[in-house]
A and B are shown apart, each in its own frame.
Chain A
């Protein structure tokens, strides 16, 4: 039997996204299952040519402590997360503060596929074909005021759907932050999907940050709040252990982390005896981002 056409096959995506919102609003959210979504995103010259990890690897090996501390906990526990409706509160030093519905956040932002290296501070790495749009596009739309110097992000707090939040392992909500120039950099994206599908819940549905030249924990998941500020924001891992996790957390093989060796990394999925590969400065994005840190001592600003 031929495959049943879905609304996403016959409807232009912007309309379909709106329709999805309407359906959700009508209380028939079941029709808006992510299984219908096949996002066609433009290819990007900022993608790398490495072979991406498999969808299974990307969706079964996650650090998302809101769903447990084990790598397989998020895949097991994230199913109950409600990602629709979803809104993001954008505030602080912006011209148009407010609580924006997800569809509204996405409005006018061109989706691209960005195949990025992803390097965890635990010295493992993957290659992920994200779908997303540049954070700069969103920031420009809400109007960043000249006094703003940093962007702060927060993850959803909803312990009844995020069982890890019932334990005080981290101080909830999960918080991250970027300097404004980092946030405006073309490599910095808000990702809403991967492998052409809506973002899996264990990977930070429905929308997350991806900053490919920084350790993975900077790429905050399931974002509900974005604030522009003139002070360096508090960030979760730095709050827990400032000697180990700095604000910048750029991937840097020459700045040793007290816990994990950072000179090399294991590529997840490379095979039992594949060993390690050298970690690249700024995770291989040195040409694009090194200038952001000109004049800074990266062993101090780690």
Chain B
């Protein structure tokens, strides 16, 4: 069957390939920055691209489990996808702190208590820190699979926070942020539906 050959192929691909592929867009942003390819306001472009890439990898991480329901097993790449997402969100935050806000700490502190999109975005990033820190086999062993799995459900919050952050920060209602939010909500709803089906087999 076709799914089997896909799974066989996935088994053969080492995870470092995913890490390399995941960092390529970062290299592209650096290249565009150095060659004036980011338009009149490179700071905003860098910030936006990094944030979008972070969201894309967060959504990518959420897609892996539903794919498994349909027989495609990419679970061995999930850690890489999650860590790459964390990398982009951390770079996005750094771009905001250094390039956008120019290290104006007082203004940033003010934003952190006043502006919802900053608070939500920062909460999403904070939720990703324990995930990134425990993304290694030693942590899985130390915490035990059950606790580790529970902890890593924070991904749901991080992805939702990231998507809401994007929707709230733009003026009016442009389509792209809504697409990310829609994707995240759909992927989380699918999980909820599945869990409900498991709990209430009569309705499944």
Chain A residues in contact with chain B, CB under 8 A?
A: 53, 56-57, 60-61, 65, 69, 71-72, 122, 124, 169-170, 237, 240, 256, 258-259, 261, 263-264, 266, 268-269, 272-276
A interface: dominant SS: loop
Given A169-B172, A272-B33, A60:B39 Cβ within 8 A: yes
B2 within 8 A of A: no
Residue of A nearest to B41 (CB): A268
CA distance A122 to B110 in the complex (A): 17
Q: Are B40 and A60 in touch, CB under 8 angstroms?
A: yes
Q: Are A261 and B174 in touch, CB under 8 angstroms?
A: no
Residues of A within 8 A of B104 (CB): 264, 275-276
CB distance from A53 to the nearest CB of B (A): 8
Residue of A nearest to B118 (CB): A261
Q: Are B115 and A57 in touch, CB under 8 angstroms?
A: no
CA distance A122 to B48 in the complex (A): 14
Cβ contacts B6-49/A at 8 Å (1 or 0 each): 00000000000000000000000000010000011111100000
CA distance A89 to B102 in the complex (A): 46
B117 within 8 A of A: yes
Cβ contacts B168-197/A at 8 Å (1 or 0 each): 011111100000000000000000000000
CA distance A72 to B44 in the complex (A): 12
Q: Are B100 and A240 in touch, CB under 8 angstroms?
A: no
Given A71-B39, A124-B44, A272:B172 Cβ within 8 A: no
B114 within 8 A of A: yes
Q: Are B101 and A259 in touch, CB under 8 angstroms?
A: no
CB distance from B103 to the nearest CB of A (A): 7
CB distance from B164 to the nearest CB of A (A): 14
Residue of B nearest to A61 (CB): B40
Q: Are B44 and A169 in touch, CB under 8 angstroms?
A: no
Residue of B nearest to A244 (CB): B171
Q: Which of B40, B100, B110 contacts A268 (CB 8 A)?
A: B40
- 19 more contacts with CB within 8 A, not counting A261-B111, A269-B40, A272-B33, are A57-B40, A61-B40, A69-B170, A71-B40, A71-B41, A72-B39, A122-B171, A124-B41, A256-B114, A264-B102, A266-B41, A266-B102, A268-B40, A269-B41, A272-B99, A273-B99, A275-B101, A275-B103, A275-B104
Q: Are A61 and B39 in touch, CB under 8 angstroms?
A: yes
Q: Are B40 and A274 in touch, CB under 8 angstroms?
A: no
Q: Are B102 and A274 in touch, CB under 8 angstroms?
A: yes
A and B contact pairs by CB, cutoff 8 A, 17 listed: A61-B39, A61-B41, A65-B172, A69-B170, A69-B171, A122-B171, A170-B172, A237-B171, A258-B115, A259-B115, A266-B41, A266-B100, A272-B43, A272-B99, A273-B98, A275-B104, A276-B102
CA distance A256 to B98 in the complex (A): 22
CA distance A272 to B94 in the complex (A): 13
Q: Which of B41, B102, B172 contacts A240 (CB 8 A)?
A: B172
**What are the nearest 8 A-B pairs in CB distance?**
A275-B102, A61-B40, A57-B40, A276-B102, A69-B174, A169-B172, A268-B41, A60-B40
Q: Are B99 and A259 in touch, CB under 8 angstroms?
A: no
Residue of B nearest to A273 (CB): B99
Q: Are A272 and B107 in touch, CB under 8 angstroms?
A: no
Q: Which of B39, B117, B174 contacts A259 (CB 8 A)?
A: B117
CA distance A240 to B173 in the complex (A): 10
Residues of A within 8 A of B40 (CB): 53, 56-57, 60-61, 71, 268-269
Cβ contacts B155-177/A at 8 Å (1 or 0 each): 00000000000000111111000
Residues of A within 8 A of B39 (CB): 60-61, 71-72
CB distance from B159 to the nearest CB of A (A): 23
Residue of B nearest to A261 (CB): B107
Residues of B within 8 A of A240 (CB): 172
Residues of A within 8 A of B115 (CB): 258-259, 261
Residues of A within 8 A of B117 (CB): 259
Indicate the member of B40, B99, B169 with the most A CB atoms within 10 Å. B40
CA distance A274 to B43 in the complex (A): 10
